[in-house]
Amino acid sequence: MSAHAFDVGGGEHCPFMPVFGPPARMIVRGSGTEVWDSEGRRLLDFLSGIAVVSLGHANERVAQAISDQARTLVHVSNFFANPVATSAAQQIDALLAEATGQHGQIFFTNSGAEANECAIKLARRHGGRGRHTVVSALGSFHGRTLATLAATGQPSKHEPFQPMPEGFRHVAWGDLDAMTAAVDASVAAVLIESIQGEGGVQPAPVGYLEGIRALCDATGALMIVDEVQTGFARTGRWFGFEHAGVSPDVVTMAKGMGNGMPVGACWAPNSIARSFSPGDHGSTFSGTALATSAVLAVIEEMTRLDAPALAVAGGERIRQALADRPGIDGVRGSGLLLGVELASGVVAADVAAGCLESGLIVNAVNASTIRLAPPLTVSEAEIDEAAEILSGVVSRLVSEGTSDE
Ligand X SMILES: *Cc1c(COP(=O)(O)O)cnc(C)c1O
Q: Which residues bind ligand X (CB under 6 A)?
A: 111-113, 116, 141-143, 193, 197-198, 226, 228-229, 254-255
Question: Measured from the CB atom, is 229 or 286 closer to ligand X?
Answer: 229
| Smallest gap from residue 352 Cβ to ligand X (A) | 18
| Smallest gap from residue 84 Cβ to ligand X (A) | 21
| Smallest gap from residue 93 Cβ to ligand X (A) | 21
End-to-end CA distance of the chain: 36
Question: Measured from the CB atom, is 139 or 327 closer to ligand X?
Answer: 139
Q: How far is CA 376 from CA 57, 232, 237, 379, in A?
A: 11, 10, 12, 9
On whether the CB atoms of residues 327 and 397 are closer than 8 A, the answer is yes
| Spatial separation of the C-alpha atoms in residues 259 and 98, rounded to whole Å | 22
| Spatial separation of the C-alpha atoms in residues 59 and 62, rounded to whole Å | 5
| Smallest gap from residue 228 Cβ to ligand X (A) | 4
| Smallest gap from residue 397 Cβ to ligand X (A) | 28
Amino acid at 272: I
Question: Measured from the CB atom, is 198 or 341 closer to ligand X?
Answer: 198
| Smallest gap from residue 197 Cβ to ligand X (A) | 4
Amino acid at 1: M
User: Using CB atoms within 10 A of its CB, is residue 275 exposed (0-12), middle (13-18) or buried (19+)?
Assistant: middle
Residue nearest to ligand X (CB): 112
Question: Measured from the CB atom, is 52 or 65 closer to ligand X?
Answer: 52
Question: Measured from the CB atom, is 113 or 351 closer to ligand X?
Answer: 113
| Smallest gap from residue 227 Cβ to ligand X (A) | 8
| Spatial separation of the C-alpha atoms in residues 114 and 108, rounded to whole Å | 9
Question: Measured from the CB atom, is 143 or 315 closer to ligand X?
Answer: 143
| Smallest gap from residue 254 Cβ to ligand X (A) | 5
Question: Measured from the CB atom, is 100 or 136 closer to ligand X?
Answer: 136
Question: Measured from the CB atom, is 110 or 293 closer to ligand X?
Answer: 110
| Spatial separation of the C-alpha atoms in residues 235 and 282, rounded to whole Å | 30
**How would you label 282-299 residue by residue, b for 16+ Cβ within 10 Å and e otherwise?**
eeebbbbbbbbbbbbbbb
Closest CA to 187 of 222, 139, 138: 222
Closest CA to 256 of 141, 373, 86: 373
| Smallest gap from residue 212 Cβ to ligand X (A) | 16
For 393, the 3-state DSSP assignment is helix
Strand runs labelled E in 90-235: 104-109, 133-137, 168-171, 187-193, 195-196, 202-203, 222-226
The torsion of the CA quartet 248, 253, 257, 263, rounded to 10 degrees, works out to 140
Question: Measured from the CB atom, is 113 or 176 closer to ligand X?
Answer: 113
Question: Measured from the CB atom, is 82 or 109 closer to ligand X?
Answer: 109
Amino acid at 266: C
| Smallest gap from residue 405 Cβ to ligand X (A) | 38
CA angle 31, 300, 303 (to 5 degrees): 95
Q: How far is CA 368 from CA 316, 333, 348, in A?
A: 21, 15, 5
| Smallest gap from residue 111 Cβ to ligand X (A) | 4
Question: Measured from the CB atom, is 213 or 255 closer to ligand X?
Answer: 255
